[in-house]
Amino acid sequence: MNLNQSHDPKLIYVADDDTYIREALKTFLENAGYSVQAFENGEALLTAFNETASDLVILDVMMPGINGFAVCKALRQVSHVPIFMVTARDSDLDYQTGLDIGADDFFTKPISPMTVTMKVKAMFRRIAYERAAVKAELAGENYEVS
């Protein structure tokens, strides 16, 4: 079974005020076949999301203006899009806050763009499995993962 339902690349939004991290994530994700739009702040990401929803969002926690937690909360009011949070602070409280407000994963800087890319792939794979299982169940079929 081919779990890639669409030939169009998945759209990923990345918001981080650190140019190096933003561009490194963009490069790795694009090399993995994703379409990526990168933003310097949360406001720009929210504006873009309101125009065209992405398939996944990666947010820095500490950005000027609206921080990543506030962006995550705003996105959760309108979408179930997968959200990955990135922070420079190695704090259990940040980790707990991010997950409590709806983030799906959390990374502490310095991050590995390769690790983030692998987790993005795993997230999309899980979503595809879940959709295939629901589709099979609705069709009255047994769905097993081998």
pLDDT digit string, tens, across residues 69-122: 999 999 999 999 999 999 998 888 888 999 999 999 999 999 999 999 999 999
Count up the domains in the chain and report the number: 1
Q: Is the pLDDT of residue 3 over 50?
A: no
**Other residues' Cβ atoms within 10 Å of the Cβ of residue 24:** 18
Instruction: Confirm whether 61 is domain-assigned.
Output: yes
Instruction: Confirm whether 144 is domain-assigned.
Output: no
What is the reported pLDDT for 137?
76
Domain extent at residue 95: 11-138
Instruction: Confirm whether 51 is domain-assigned.
Output: yes
Instruction: Confirm whether 84 is domain-assigned.
Output: yes
Instruction: Confirm whether 146 is domain-assigned.
Output: no
Contact 89, 60 (CB under 8 A): no
What is the reported pLDDT for 146?
54
Contact 36, 12 (CB under 8 A): yes
Instruction: Confirm whether 143 is domain-assigned.
Output: no
How much of the chain exceeds pLDDT 70, in percent? 91
Q: Is the pLDDT of residue 1 over 50?
A: no
Q: Count CA atoms within 13 Å of residue 113 on its CB side.
A: 14
The length of the chain in residues reads: 146
User: Residue 63 has which token pair?
Assistant: 């950005």
Instruction: Confirm whether 132 is domain-assigned.
Output: yes
Angle 68-78/92-100 helices, nearest 10 degrees?
A: 20
Indicate which CATH number applies to the domain containing 113.
Answer: 3.40.50.2300
Instruction: Confirm whether 134 is domain-assigned.
Output: yes
